[in-house]
C-alpha cells in the first residue's frame, strides 16, 4: 500500500477505527477523539485532556459564538461536536473516509443534533462558497497532505475576510534532519498514511504566500508529552495481540503498522524529531 494519498488515508482510518476505539477511547463518553490530549492544571487524565486540546486552541483563536466553522479532516467528529455545543456554532465536519461519515451521520441522527453536518469531501476542494465561513479548524489533519500549501490556499478561499485558520499539528524540527532521525520520522508517520511533516517556517510560508495577513504559532509540546507517553504505554500493552492477530491473518498490515508506528512516537518527540504546535492564520 502506498504510504500516503487519498486511498491510503481512507484505508488507514477505515482499518484502524476499531483500534482507536479500543486503545485510545475505551473510556470515552460521546464520540471518540482521534487527536492527542493537552495536559495542564485543568486536565490531568486522558479523557479530560482530549477535550482540553479543543478548549485551548479555541480560546487562543477567540472563536465567536454562533460562528460558521469547517472542521477539516474531522475524523469521528470529536472537535466538530464540541465546537457546536460550546460555541453554539454551525459546524460541518469533512473527511475523505466514508466509514467515518456514515458513523457520524448515524450518531447525529440518533441524538437529534441539528447544527452539525458530516460530509465526505477533500479539504483541497471544499464544497463551500468563497468568503463563506468564519473558522477553518484542523487538528492533526494537515499532516496528511502531500503539498500542505494547497490546504492553506483552499482555507483562505472559503474564509470570510477576518476569518481564522486554526491548526493543531506535528511539525518536523528541521529539513533535513540527521539521517537516523529522518528515517525514524518516515517510519512512524508513513505508518499513519502521512507522507511527511513540514517545519514551522514552511507552514508560515504557506500561510503568507496564500494571502493570510498574519501567522502565529505556539509550541505546546510540553503539554502533549503525557499523551504521547500514554500512547506508547497503551500500545505496549496490546502489541503482543496485534502481532499475533497479524501473523494469523486476522488483522491487516495497515493495522499492524499503525501499532508499530505508534510505539515509537514518544521516543521521537523526546528526541526532538518533531514538535506539536498550535498555528493561527488570519485572513
274-282: strand order across its sheet? 116-120, 90-95, 68-72, 133-139, 159-172, 274-282, 214-219
Mean per-residue pLDDT of the chain? 94
The string of pLDDT tens digits covering residues 199-225 is 999 999 999 999 999 999 999 999 999
Q: Residue 283: which of 163, 121, 189 has the closest Cα? A: 163
Handedness of CA 143, 145, 149, 154 (dihedral sign): negative
Q: Residue 133: which of 86, 83, 95 has the closest Cα? A: 83
Cell of 142: 494537515
Task: Tell me the domains of the chain and their CATH numbers.
Answer: 6-282 (3.40.50.150)
Would you call 32 helix, strand, or coil by DSSP? Answer: coil
Asked whether the predicted pLDDT for residue 28 surpasses 60, the reply is no
Name the H helices within the chain: 6-19, 46-60, 78-87, 98-111, 148-158, 179-190, 200-210, 221-247, 253-263, 265-270
Give the span between the Cα atoms of 197 and 185, in whole angstroms: 8
Q: Which of 11-15, 17-21, 62-66, 188-192 has the lowest mean pLDDT?
A: 17-21
Number of CB atoms found within 10 A of residue 189's CB:
24
pLDDT, average across residues 96-100: 96
Cell of 108: 447525529
Asked whether the predicted pLDDT for residue 30 surpasses 90, the reply is no
Give the span between the Cα atoms of 232 and 48, in whole angstroms: 19
pLDDT, average across residues 59-81: 97
- Asked if 256 and 235 count as a contact pair (C-beta separation under 8 A), the reply is no
Amino acid at each position: 500500500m502506498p504510504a500516503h494519498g487519498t486511498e491510503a488515508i481512507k484505508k488507514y482510518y477505515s482499518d484502524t477505527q476499531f483500534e482507536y476505539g479500543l486503545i485510545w477511547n475505551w473510556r470515552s463518553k460521546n464520540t471518540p477523539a482521534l487527536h492527542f490530549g493537552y495536559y495542564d492544571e485543568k486536565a490531568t487524565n486522558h479523557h479530560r485532556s482530549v477535550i482540553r486540546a479543543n478548549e485551548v486552541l479555541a480560546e487562543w483563536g477567540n472563536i465567536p459564538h454562533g460562528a460558521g466553522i469547517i472542521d477539516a479532516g474531522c475524523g469521528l467528529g470529536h472537535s466538530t461536536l464540541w465546537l457546536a455545543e460550546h460555541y453554539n456554532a454551525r459546524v460541518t465536519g469533512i473527511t475523505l473516509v466514508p466509514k467515518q461519515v456514515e458513523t457520524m451521520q448515524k450518531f447525529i441522527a440518533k441524538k437529534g443534533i441539528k447544527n452539525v453536518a458530516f460530509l465526505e469531501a477533500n479539504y483541497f476542494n471544499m464544497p463551500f462558497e468563497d468568503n463563506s465561513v468564519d473558522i477553518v479548524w484542523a487538528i492533526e489533519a494537515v499532516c496528511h497532505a502531500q503539498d500542505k500549501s494547497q490546504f492553506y490556499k483552499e482555507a483562505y478561499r472559503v474564509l470570510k475576510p477576518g476569518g481564522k485558520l486554526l491548526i493543531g499539528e506535528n511539525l518536523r524540527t528541521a529539513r533535513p534532519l540527521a539521517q537516523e532521525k529522518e528515517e525514524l520520522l518516515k517510519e512512524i508517520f508513513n505508518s499513519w498514511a502521512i507522507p511527511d511533516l513540514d517545519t514551522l517556517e514552511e507552514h508560515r510560508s504557506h500561510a503568507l504566500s496564500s494571502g493570510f495577513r498574519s501567522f502565529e504559532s505556539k509550541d505546546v509540546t510540553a503539554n502533549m508529552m503525557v499523551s504521547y507517553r500514554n500512547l506508547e504505554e497503551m500500545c505496549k500493552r496490546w502489541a503482543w495481540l496485534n502481532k499475533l492477530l497479524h501473523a494469523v491473518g486476522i488483522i491487516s498490515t495497515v493495522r499492524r503498522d499503525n501499532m508499530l508506528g505508534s510505539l515509537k512516537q514518544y521516543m521521537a518527540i523526546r528526541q526532538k524529531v518533531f514538535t506539536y504546535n498550535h498555528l493561527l492564520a488570519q485572513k
